[in-house]
Amino acid sequence: MSDKLELYRQGTRPLEGTNRLWPLYGAGLENFGRDGQPIEAPLPQYGPDQLLVRHDACGLCFSDIKVIKQGQDHPRIFRDIKADPVVLGHEVSMTVVGVGEQLRDQYRVGDRFIIQADIYKDGVNYAYGYMIQGGLSGYGVIDQRILDGDDGNYLIPVQPATGYAESALTEPWACVTAAYELKYRTGLLAGGATWIVGTAAAAGREYTISAGFDAASHPARLMLTQAPPAFEAWLRERAAALGIAVIAVDDPSAAPAPADDIVLLAPDADLIEAVSPHLADHGICAIIADAALGRKVSVDVGRVHYNRWAYVGGAGPDVARAYSDVPVRSTLKPGGVTWFVGAGGPMGRMHVQRAIQVAGGPAVMVCTDVSDLRLDDLRTSFAAEAAVKGIELICLNPTDRETCGAGMARFREPGFDDIVVLAPIAAVIADAATWLAPRGVMNVFAGVARGTLAQIDLSDAFLKGARCIGHSASSIDDLRFMLTQAESGTLSPNRSVAAIGSLSAARAGLQAVLDTAFPGKVVIFPHIEELPLTALPELREKLPTVYARLKDGREWTVEAEAEFLRLMLP
């Protein structure tokens, strides 16, 4: 039995005769596989500059559900999937089992990798598990799009002692850690496009820009709309001296090009809504005002999330200080008060775990979720560890209005230093924003669609220094960093595993993701004997020797995985 596992780890076991995989032929789970089962295909052929890899473990993600729901209409699918189906699975760990002759000085059978799924070659996206066959298959081919893409090699080496599930789940974990590593500008974008929009209320004020509009740093283009005459004259004179192109824009709803920075002088909510669609990716809207807006603003929180829009503000008259006085913070405030909205799901648990385990965390953590089952599991998993760290962990269900209201009452006046929103619901995001403390930060982590509008009081941006940010996905550097965190023991992706199964269980696993059946992640092991979708507690009866190696009878471990493979490999 131990020889079987050792040969598997070495990648030297005889290859299976066929490649089992789950093709998606169209929208809906009814188009996943054939007759509810994976299909069998010939083993992939690989060329002299390619690798044949064995998929060892694959996590199931809500992004997979989005592809299943949208099918051909998904923005990352660029082909006719009825004729050329998609094979999902981007949270995957793999082992090299075949090396093309041109690569034998760089790779060997048994090498282990994870993959940065967001692959680009010559500017074209070839995401793993979308355009390239993903981890819900026994084997795959790694070609030069992956080995020599626009960002170099998208494979990241994994140490031999690292678990298969552990390494596969560094992909979703990288998205979490990346959310706390975001960097935002503290001034106008050098070489970018700045648009300054004035109003009647701004007339007579002596605005200036003390930094970022000088020889040291300045935009390449300046658009002007109704700027106060004295300020406009100063801007035009400075622009002429610096070689900045100046464009007059009469209609604030019709900018000729996206702007990296939109500076609004004493605007109302209508003006903010009119100009915001003209923000470029990673754009910043700076609101210069000293009186509250008359109403809340419809903010496209989908673009805050996906396009990295940000709103900053200050009382003025110095525009530069709206950026620099309260820099946008993405890390949780050390010793602060943090609220995780929708904390009980797989991604929410990762945020909570990270906040407890990483140094410099908050002093108080409020976790809300509409599922008592998830909250109870969250409390069981993390309350004792939080207490050891001196962190007060509070779990509340907003559907129990009386209890939740009483638990939240103490935070209404001071507010939260950090709010991380994991529920993709505009009304929830809007309500959360009302709880921000002065200089507080709300991170819209949930993947709300572009065009989703939430009513947010942007007066807080310039009166309280509050900030709203968002983030999607992760880079290859984020994934490398997360793998280092996992292999050093700083963070444990294994704690995210909630259920496991063989390749045939992938359909049931995706249904479970859709139904939010588990508080953590579902992991598929493509090369084991048949095993229905199995929650970890069920291992007590099904595989007692594996259960005995779980931590505290509830957490996946490298030791449990080794025993599992000894028993379940054919």
Phi-psi region of 89 (alpha: psi -120 to 50; beta: other; left: phi over 0): left
**The predicted structure's pLDDT at residue 401:** 95
**The predicted structure's pLDDT at residue 494:** 98
User: 259-314 pLDDT, tens per residue?
Assistant: 999 999 999 999 999 999 999 999 999 999 999 999 999 999 999 999 999 999 99
User: 401-410 pLDDT, tens per residue?
Assistant: 999 999 999 9
Structural Rg of the chain based on CA atoms:
26
**The predicted structure's pLDDT at residue 76:** 82
> In angstroms, rounded to a whole number, what is the distance separating the alpha carbons of residues 498 and 78?
33
Q: Domains of the chain: which residue ranges?
A: 12-179+477-526, 193-324, 337-423
User: Amino acid letter at 222?
Assistant: L
**The predicted structure's pLDDT at residue 32:** 96
- Residue 515, C-beta contacts closer than 8 angstroms, at least 6 positions apart: none
**The predicted structure's pLDDT at residue 2:** 56
Reply yes or no on whether the pLDDT at 185 is more than 90. yes
The mean per-residue pLDDT over the stretch 412-439 comes to 97
**The predicted structure's pLDDT at residue 78:** 84
Report phi then psi at 254, rounded to 5.
Answer: -140, 60
Reply yes or no on whether the pLDDT at 417 is more than 50. yes
Answer whether 83's CB lies under 8 Å from 91's CB: no
**The predicted structure's pLDDT at residue 408:** 98
CATH topology of 12-179+477-526 equal to that of 193-324?
no
Answer whether 98's CB lies under 8 Å from 51's CB: yes
Q: Which fold has domain 12-179+477-526?
A: Quinone Oxidoreductase; Chain A, domain 1 (3.90.180)
Q: How far apart are the first and last CA of the chain?
A: 10
**The predicted structure's pLDDT at residue 204:** 86
The mean per-residue pLDDT over the stretch 329-352 comes to 97
Q: Indicate the average pLDDT of the chain.
A: 96
Q: Of the candidates 46, 24, 41, which has an alpha carbon nearest to the alpha carbon of residue 33?
A: 24
Three-state DSSP state, 171 = helix
| C-beta atoms surrounding 241 within 10 Å | 11
Q: Which CATH class is domain 193-324?
A: alpha beta
Strand pairing partners for 41?
A: 19
**The predicted structure's pLDDT at residue 254:** 86
The conformation of residue 332, written as its DSSP 8-state character, comes to P
Structure tokens at 269: 């909510």
User: 441-494 pLDDT, tens per residue?
Assistant: 999 998 888 999 999 999 999 999 999 999 878 999 999 999 999 999 999 999
Phi-psi region of 554 (alpha: psi -120 to 50; beta: other; left: phi over 0): alpha
Reply yes or no on whether the pLDDT at 138 is more than 60. yes
Place of tokens 């981007």: 90
Beta-strand ranges (E) seen in 462-512 are: 467-470, 497-502
**The predicted structure's pLDDT at residue 1:** 46
Residue 270 is inside which H or E element, if any?
Answer: helix 269-275
Band (166; pLDDT cuts 50, 70, 90): very high
Reply yes or no on whether the pLDDT at 253 is more than 90. no
> In angstroms, rounded to a whole number, what is the distance separating the alpha carbons of residues 113 and 291?
55
* Distance, CA of 493 to chain centre: 15
Band (159; pLDDT cuts 50, 70, 90): very high
Band (196; pLDDT cuts 50, 70, 90): very high
- Residue 118, C-beta contacts closer than 8 angstroms, at least 6 positions apart: 125, 127, 473, 475
**The predicted structure's pLDDT at residue 182:** 92
The conformation of residue 414, written as its DSSP 8-state character, comes to T
- C-alpha to C-alpha distances, 173 to 58, 118, 345, 519, nearest whole angstrom: 14, 15, 13, 15
Answer whether 20's CB lies under 8 Å from 526's CB: yes
> In angstroms, rounded to a whole number, what is the distance separating the alpha carbons of residues 528 and 565?
7
